[in-house]
């Protein structure tokens, strides 16, 4: 296996010498785990709000399954980008946010080891899913199959959704709609349009994370034929789409408040975070020409997702205790 020297910020084999568990954990890119944990938390809160009961075992199993699918997808994405040459071409990366884990490129793990890790994580998710099927019935199977399918097709196989400009849509469904609606259904036994509407802001925020993370990779992705949305739209077009995604999240919370599904204050936090959104959009326009601003924009986008998801979960819980 050909390796490349680690940059000043890239991980190195010496960082994980004799620390197998830590090495495997960091190979999964855990900085992004809130993107899978928080939708389950919010969906669980919504399900308790609409169904009236909290089933802790179901919630824990949903978290395990979703985190393992997310971790497996991250690892398999590194394998796919290595086979396509994208990560080796990526000199504009902002580690640890873009350009993958760098574990293959720096020789910490080889591609076959990463593939085995990714498949093992999906297997753990499948076991958690089977237990959920036994507890809640075959409907769980459809949520699980959809999630795993999106995780695999995102970066592997003949389709490679990320390479044809459908990565954001896949992430919005796989780390927004599915975990929110699925976690809500586990608690309430109900799948309806209200749950889907509740999931849309979270879906938008997680799609925005992927979108801004792809900006530093534009040159490498374009060179290797990975036609992501930023490659197709350019920096200015991506900035416009990034703002539009957050406006969609805000508009949905306005609707949820207007129809009485959430308290009237629901749009407050999504509106206030637009200050961060516009700063991040300005960084997207500049791109890697200003790495500090680009890094700050990525971190702000992660923060908007975290704050917004917790806000929605809190509002759903508020409705449980103060339903009026």
Long-range contacts (CB closer than 8 Å, 24 or more residues apart) made by 53-56: 53/187, 53/188, 54/187, 55/186, 55/187
60 lies in some domain: yes
Does residue 2 form part of some domain?
A: no
Residue 267 domain flag: yes
Average pLDDT along the chain: 91
Say if 143 falls within a structural domain.
yes
Question: In terms of residue numbers, what domain contains 33?
Answer: 19-321
Tens of pLDDT, residues 11-43: 889 999 889 999 999 999 999 999 999 999 999
* Confidence bin at 324 (pLDDT 50/70/90): low
Q: Which one has a higher pLDDT value, 78 or 255?
A: 255
Whether residue 10 lies inside any domain: the answer is no
Residue 11, in any domain of the structure: no
Count of the separate structural domains present in the chain = 1
Residue 52 reports pLDDT greater than 80: no
Residues 162-197 have pLDDT tens digits of 889 999 999 999 999 999 999 999 999 988 999 999
Mean pLDDT confidence for 38-58: 93
In tens, the pLDDT along 202-237 reads 999 999 999 999 999 998 888 888 899 999 999 999
Which CATH number characterizes residue 44's domain? 1.20.120.1780
């Amino acid at each position: 296996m050909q390796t490349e020297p680690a940059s000043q910020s890239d991980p190195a084999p010496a960082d994980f010498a004799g620390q197998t568990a830590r090495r495997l954990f960091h190979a999964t890119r855990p900085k992004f785990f809130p993107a899978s944990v928080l939708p389950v938390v919010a969906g669980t809160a919504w399900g308790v709000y609409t169904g009236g009961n909290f089933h802790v075992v179901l919630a824990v199993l949903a978290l395990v399954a979703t985190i393992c699918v997310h971790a497996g997808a991250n690892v398999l994405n590194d394998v796919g980008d290595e086979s396509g040459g994208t990560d080796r071409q990526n000199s504009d990366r902002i580690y640890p946010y873009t350009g993958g884990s760098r574990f293959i490129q720096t020789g910490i793990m080889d591609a076959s080891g990463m593939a085995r890790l990714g498949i093992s994580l999906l297997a753990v998710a499948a076991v958690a899913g089977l237990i959920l099927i036994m507890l809640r019935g075959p409907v769980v199977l459809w949520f699980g199959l959809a999630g795993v399918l999106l995780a695999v097709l995102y970066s592997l196989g003949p389709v490679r959704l990320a390479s044809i400009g459908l990565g954001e849509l896949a992430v919005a469904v796989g780390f927004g709609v599915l975990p929110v609606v699925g976690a809500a259904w586990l608690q309430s036994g109900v799948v309806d349009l209200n749950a889907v509407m509740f999931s849309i802001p979270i879906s938008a925020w997680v799609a925005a994370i992927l979108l801004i993370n792809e900006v530093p990779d534009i040159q490498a992705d374009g060179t290797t034929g990975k036609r992501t949305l930023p490659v197709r739209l350019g920096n200015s077009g991506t900035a416009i789409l990034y703002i539009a995604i957050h406006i969609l999240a805000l508009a949905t919370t306005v609707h949820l408040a207007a129809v009485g599904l959430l308290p009237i204050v629901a749009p407050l936090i999504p509106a206030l975070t637009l200050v961060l959104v516009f700063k991040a959009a300005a960084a997207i326009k500049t791109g890697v020409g200003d790495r500090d601003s680009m890094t700050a924009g990525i971190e702000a986008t992660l923060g908007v997702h975290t704050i917004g998801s917790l806000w929605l979960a809190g509002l759903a819980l508020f409705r449980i205790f103060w339903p009026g």
